[in-house]
Structure 1
């Protein structure tokens, strides 16, 4: 330290060079290198995770937009206003239009109800349209008529034959191989026909009163798309469609986004805790060195110059190492996804680089700054009296404003994130108090001496022990939450389209053909659902209250249209009875979602109209229905006596494997009046999205869990390091190495078990909160968590103590 007093005799460049050498030596030979490692890991993790999040989100958005054929879609029951199209073009957006209607298609031999889509040459703006005729095309041109695969057998035509659409006789150009705009709703689909918009007028199919739907497709920058949406006031019958509003697929994408953001946030949180703990440990170990420098004449200004240079070098080294490691980590994270990621990959841009450096800086400023402010204020007398107390520099806590302000800007009004933050903060306090309470209860038991000493030490410093327990518990809890969220989301998404889900619906089966149709499926070894009678009707009154008295715009969506009604003697196997009993007479079972929206309860009387004929039934049960399983599902299921006398057609769904494709054409040919809705293309596309998202979330969850494990290991390592002086004191007072070793093992074993059990309880609470208010999914318990977390905690304790106990006891030799 004598060099400090000699610096006054040196020139300014010499002093600067010497200060740089001291800073470099302190960086690598002092205790600051763990801080550099923690900062490197923060930068690497944030860079890798942010890069993967950017890529995965772009892929999900692209997939979602491919399914609506554009970046944004405007749907209307009336023709699209020219002013809307003009405004979109003025914003630099690419525009395409579509007119869609149902009509009959006639060939020389057959006729079939079809869904005609009249599109322009720019359609689709997103996604893939593959048309196969004399050669492959991806756009519809004037004079062309393209049919879906099934229509060739239903209409008994080949390319080159004439098919009449309204007044127009058009020549079949070929078949539709692939098209976007797929839907989960089988009742909304008919075999598709594509024509060019310029041929629409000659069909004469659109007349006053015709049921026609108009769509405008837009593609461009998100800012311009949002500006267009804000400029348009929607009228009745109009709505915007985006990748996040497209039914269940939109929900999946939105929930995946929430998970990506939450995982990134939790990883940053855990990495920050690792850095702060490391900085506190560094400050505690350097008090004597700073006091010595002060006793030799070092001023605060000189100390700050010395520390600032160390921090500048530290951040530079951490930035280079972290970005390099982050790039490698991002590459490794993509390896499991190589088969499902698109080629070329979406660009990650500069966001991951900027985010990783900015996060590290925002974390480091208060995390390191508060500790160093206290360190620089250490009095010179600390050299000879290490336990001396000195006034705390509370100005340093103002540095916390920086990350808090950044969080406010980042989260904004995101209630999901604020809910997570508030919940974690409250849990930290509760877990600390709960841990100390459990220790107090354990002290009442009869234990051997090592355990009694361990419990005594934990309870002797309640504040420190409570903070340590809370930190350890919250670390285990966070890594559990990351993994459980991933597991529960994937389990929910598997219900979106299970691997064995039906992929073909058969509708309008006449009662006379029903048994023969079922026999064909059964004899062909096809997995099918039960068959259901279907009648279209409206719900008109609840307990004699007219539900159609309010304006159409104010009604629930289920009251604006006819619903599919059915009857059964028993509850469908894929429905769950929530309340009531399954009745056999004059009853109706109601799906729980519509019951909640319309305020329907057990015992209510519901009135329906079918073909202007009214009838009533009493609500006898409420059911939970999973609408995404591709099975026939219904809002209302009646007892047979209520509706069996009404004329109905039958419906069922079944699964066609790749080797059974010919059966679909055979069914279409042998049962021409039955409407077949082939959803195999849609199923393949949804399965691809599910596979991409599932693998991506698994990789992200693994990274989040790794960050949590790093934090737990850091906590345990630093805690044991702080025990060195205490262990020396025990040895001085005559304690044997075995007694000390047994006490350490007992103390950390107790803390590990307590932390594991409390982390399991905390994770269940957090998961329940996130499921109810964040992801809006059913709450479920996780029994294995109560075993896995305590065992994991104990394993980590064993690893850390085994690696450090010998070193801690080594000075006691002799």
Structure 2
């Protein structure tokens, strides 16, 4: 008997026949099941993460009322033309402060003139005669909408006429919420919103007016991000494309951390898939050595055997990938429906990238971990049919295995969407895996000399008999549990940090333009009202004039750096470091200037550089003597540049403070303004509400992704244990033939898995402690700390794993009659 000729059709037919036969008789079932669940888990998490990321971006887009925004003091004709060439939807608006009249009352307002397309994202909540209403447009021509504070200050009723420049407009609605709440200081005065068509009649905009032009941009196309990137590249250097995730420091922090966690969840799903497939593929390759030897004995060439197994792997990958992707898609639909019901948010449809990732995981995992042994199989000598010790290891196998690991690393890198996250996770888990293998081998070797008796002896004997097999199994399981525990510790730290980020009593009102002789009086006013202020700080206007003796040339800067180099700075002085500031380099109190790390990086400043500011018509120069980090989420007064008080002697200064007012306290704001008419209030409660909404949704997304990844991990690990099922059934049959009872076999299995679970849990706990602390500090910018509870969680996870697997595996081991098990 000989095999068919070595032709491509015959090779594919033999590969397919072998695949069907081995699936039917169960040889490939563990590997197929592990791969199926792995692809399902990775695809489902990928789909869900893709949709959650899209939902968070949609939520963030409401913060700008668009997908992106460009601002400038001059009309944005060039940007508008470029945006239209890229088929981007646009909306134009103009904002500036102005004084309006209502009868005898006057008020400084922040006027915003919008067009018919506003807002591109989000919606407005207004109150009219008929009550509250949600709309997706601004005021029509000939009408004015005002903020509640403006209505209270001017004593307006709906229908009253407002004098805006040279025109009169009736007030037809009160703005209770507008989507683009913007920068902290963009709401210095209460909002007045009109249509752009009414702007010319007011005659308020002239060549000398200080107005801000804004171009809002959006697109529903799948390549929206790519289009916006192309627009950013084509914009003049002085323009910066502002996106939702970087429009507000607190918002940016929440968005960045959530996006990184979702990337981490996807990485964990990929690693869980790898942990299961290592075990399943190793078992399959061990069994196939006898089959390969038999094929060689029947006349098959090495090339034909290699081709058969390569085709079989490709067919197996497709057989698992197609249903796995379908299962993942259905699973994420159920998960998305649950999240939508709980959070009252519509998730956008997912992209097709998770499909490609699922297929890539199937192909890379199989060819990376199974192909090395298949290279060995094609060189298996026919003598192995008679002598089981006859093997032919190939030097190329280690190289192929390394190639598989590199491919998996690239998949993890892509899925993480963050180079630092991928490096820390891969590096930490690679070190952990190597440590697991060494420690597990030493511990299993020690079991050979353990003076166990009775049932315990049978339970530990199997682990000690095949040390490398047991060590590999322990290491792979420990890696999977480490990944789950790692996700757990980072998730807990992340949500705890979010809960502390913006407490319910965080300052939501800023007050500026406080004169020096009003500080004590205003502090007393707030005390009588039971309002705690965040402290009063001097604020001095200054323009950057030179750096290290070189005059500032705005043309040498781009984007945000250009805007900073051309505008006035808000400087302050202090001898005490604020509680939400931390010195990173140098000393504080500053002998010269203390600068915030972000602006130092943007403008290229470093410790020792000499800065010159023009303040009150005179130049003030000194060196940078410290660099600080600032917690912008605290909503307390903070400054990019703080000067030594001695540098600013005899300089005119106004003061700034912030405090918290509960919802519905507009009348208290009006009372404060009447007592201090020169003070300007910034109501940032809307900004805080938007950030809290994002954090709440991000936290829920983190919880759901974590729970789903844990469940997927358990299923994958259960599937991986099926790889040793056939050998365990044979061993149980031998014990029962020798007189062991069913109860004794099960007791030995329990002892084996309890010891294995304990070892896995301990190893995983210590690894998760180290890698989790590293990730929290270096990637998520959270406090460095070790969580001792991880030790208990790790042991509990290992024992739970044993408790879940042992009954099922024990039932499958003992349900087959010994005679039948020994014949198979």
**TM-score interval, normalised by the smaller of the two chains:** 0.7 to 0.9
| Structure 1 position 331, deviation (Å) | 0.9
Name the CA distance, whole Å, in 2 between partners of 1:126 and 1:292: 67
The residue aligned with 1:101 is 96
After TM superposition, the structure 1 stretch with the greater mean CA deviation from structure 2, 313-322 or 748-757, is: 313-322
| Structure 1 position 387, deviation (Å) | 3.2
Superposed, 1:496-575 pairs within 5 Å as 497-538=502-543, 545-546=548-549, 548-551=551-554, 553-554=556-557, 560-568=566-574, 570-575=576-581
The residue aligned with 2:212 is 213
2:760 to 739, 752, 764: 752
After TM superposition, the structure 1 stretch with the greater mean CA deviation from structure 2, 111-120 or 181-190, is: 181-190
The residue aligned with 2:197 is 198
| Structure 1 position 130, deviation (Å) | 3.7
| Structure 1 position 55, deviation (Å) | 1.9
| Structure 1 position 399, deviation (Å) | 10
Name the CA distance, whole Å, in 2 between partners of 1:711 and 1:659: 52
| Structure 1 position 398, deviation (Å) | 6.7
Name the CA distance, whole Å, in 1 between partners of 2:185 and 2:269: 41
Flag the 1:159–1:512 CA change in 2: closer, same or farther, 3 A: farther
Q: What are structure 1's unaligned runs of at least 5 residues?
A: 9-15
Q: TM-score, structure 1 length as denominator?
A: 0.79
Name the CA distance, whole Å, in 1 between partners of 2:444 and 2:472: 19
Name the CA distance, whole Å, in 1 between partners of 2:145 and 2:529: 31
Superposed, 1:344-359 pairs within 5 Å as 345-348=347-350, 352=354, 355-357=357-359, 359=361
The residue aligned with 1:39 is 35
**2:170 partner SS:** strand
Superposed, 1:363-382 pairs within 5 Å as 363-364=365-366, 367=369, 381-382=383-384
Contact 2:749 2:806 in 1 (8 A): no
Contact 2:630 2:638 in 1 (8 A): yes
Name the CA distance, whole Å, in 1 between partners of 2:492 and 2:310: 45
Flag the 1:222–1:728 CA change in 2: closer, same or farther, 3 A: closer
Flag the 1:252–1:237 CA change in 2: closer, same or farther, 3 A: same
Contact 1:540 1:546 in 2 (8 A): no
| Structure 1 position 561, deviation (Å) | 3.2
Name the CA distance, whole Å, in 2 between partners of 1:719 and 1:425: 29
Superposed, 1:323-362 pairs within 5 Å as 323-324=326-327, 327-328=330-331, 330-332=333-335, 334-343=337-346, 345-348=347-350, 352=354, 355-357=357-359, 359-362=361-364
Q: TM-score, structure 2 length as denominator?
A: 0.78
Q: CA RMSD in A?
A: 5.2
The residue aligned with 1:701 is 706
| Structure 1 position 513, deviation (Å) | 4.4
| Structure 1 position 586, deviation (Å) | 6.9
Flag the 1:723–1:378 CA change in 2: closer, same or farther, 3 A: farther
Flag the 1:693–1:284 CA change in 2: closer, same or farther, 3 A: same
| Structure 1 position 267, deviation (Å) | 0.8
Flag the 1:356–1:597 CA change in 2: closer, same or farther, 3 A: closer
The residue aligned with 1:245 is 246
| Structure 1 position 242, deviation (Å) | 2.2
Flag the 1:296–1:571 CA change in 2: closer, same or farther, 3 A: closer
1:632 to 637, 662, 665: 637
Name the CA distance, whole Å, in 2 between partners of 1:463 and 1:326: 38
The residue aligned with 1:782 is 786
Flag the 1:317–1:767 CA change in 2: closer, same or farther, 3 A: closer
Contact 2:761 2:797 in 1 (8 A): yes
**1:339 partner SS:** helix
The residue aligned with 1:59 is 55
Flag the 1:325–1:254 CA change in 2: closer, same or farther, 3 A: closer
1:428 to 412, 427, 430: 430
Flag the 1:285–1:442 CA change in 2: closer, same or farther, 3 A: closer
Matched, 1:652 2:647: no
| Structure 1 position 123, deviation (Å) | 1.6
**1:338 partner SS:** helix
Name the CA distance, whole Å, in 1 between partners of 2:352 and 2:229: 28
Contact 1:428 1:470 in 2 (8 A): no
Name the CA distance, whole Å, in 2 between partners of 1:535 and 1:19: 79
The residue aligned with 2:9 is none
Name the CA distance, whole Å, in 2 between partners of 1:549 and 1:469: 62
Flag the 1:481–1:571 CA change in 2: closer, same or farther, 3 A: same
Matched, 1:180 2:175: no
Name the CA distance, whole Å, in 1 between partners of 2:492 and 2:68: 31
| Structure 1 position 281, deviation (Å) | 1.3
Name the CA distance, whole Å, in 1 between partners of 2:15 and 2:211: 80
Name the CA distance, whole Å, in 1 between partners of 2:88 and 2:623: 53
| Structure 1 position 626, deviation (Å) | 0.2
